[in-house]
Chain A
Amino acid sequence: AQSVTQPDIHITVSEGASLELRCNYSYGATPYLFWYVQSPGQGLQLLLKYFSGDTLVQGIKGFEAEFKRSQSSFNLRKPSVHWSDAAEYFCAVGGASKIIFGSGTRLSIRP
């Protein structure tokens, strides 16, 4: 069965520091993988997606994610966070069937 695990409920990082948000998935075939961001009071916006090919994908707002099949992971990274990155981040897996979303990681930025 499809599943997505985001082990970190809440992360706080200092402005300018690097960021890595973890995501592990379970899927029976080649997955489609997504990261979404939700700012307070907003809907979910797609940051980036992986379907095939290069396992390092670039997204909007300076984010990137790396697909590691051997670890069933799709971690999100950013080299230097900005205060405006404070939001909720959702990892999701899809493919032949409906997308399954993780429970989200709330990112806070320390000035």
Chain B
Amino acid sequence: DAGVIQSPRHEVTEMGQEVTLRCKPISGHDYLFWYRQTMMRGLELLIYFNNNVPIDDSGMPEDRFSAKMPNASFSTLKIQPSEPRDSAVYFCASSLVVGNEQFFGPGTRLTVL
């Protein structure tokens, strides 16, 4: 298996623009997680899905952030409009069981100017 795939690896955009991050989980994994990592706040769980259904979105910082999982092999995290404080590395991870080992993608480094 190729592991968790994220695209793009790097994204530079200007404030106010829409940003879409993409993730393909490991085939057969029922859980998908989105994290944000910054120096100031560390690793934060934003949202996670079970069988394509959002289970816990309490970590989503505000309404500008939205996430979808239209099928078992694809998820998106969208920021609209983007702000400089959204600059971070965004990780996607997947797992077979919710509290079990998670497999992380390489991350998307987002810079909002």
**Residues of chain B within 8 A of A43, CB atoms compared:** 4, 91, 104-107
Interface check A97, CB cutoff 8 A = yes
**Residues of chain B within 8 A of A103, CB atoms compared:** 42
What 1/0 flags go to B57-94 for Cβ under 8 Å of A?
00000000000000000000000000000000001010
Interface check B52, CB cutoff 8 A = no
Interface size class, chain B? 10 to 19
**Residues of chain A within 8 A of B101, CB atoms compared:** 34, 46, 49
**Residues of chain A within 8 A of B4, CB atoms compared:** 43
In the complex, A45 Cα to B104 Cα: how many Å?
Answer: 7
User: How far does the Cβ of B33 sit from chain A's closest Cβ, in whole Å?
Assistant: 8
Tally the A-B contacts, defined by beta carbons under 8 Å.
44
Number of interface residues of A (CB under 8 A): 19
Interface check A101, CB cutoff 8 A = yes
In the complex, A49 Cα to B97 Cα: how many Å?
Answer: 14
Contact B99 A44 (CB under 8 A): no
Q: List 27 A-B contacts (CB under 8 A).
A: A32-B100, A34-B101, A36-B104, A42-B106, A42-B107, A43-B4, A43-B91, A43-B104, A43-B107, A44-B102, A44-B104, A45-B104, A46-B103, A49-B101, A94-B98, A94-B100, A98-B33, A98-B45, A98-B48, A98-B56, A98-B98, A98-B99, A99-B100, A99-B102, A101-B42, A103-B42, A104-B42
- Chain B, Cβ-Cβ closest to A46: B101
User: How far does the Cβ of B103 sit from chain A's closest Cβ, in whole Å?
Assistant: 8
Contact A97 B106 (CB under 8 A): no
Contact of A97 among B42, B93, B98, B107 (CB under 8 A): B98
Interface check B12, CB cutoff 8 A = no
Contact A94 B99 (CB under 8 A): yes
Interface check B43, CB cutoff 8 A = yes
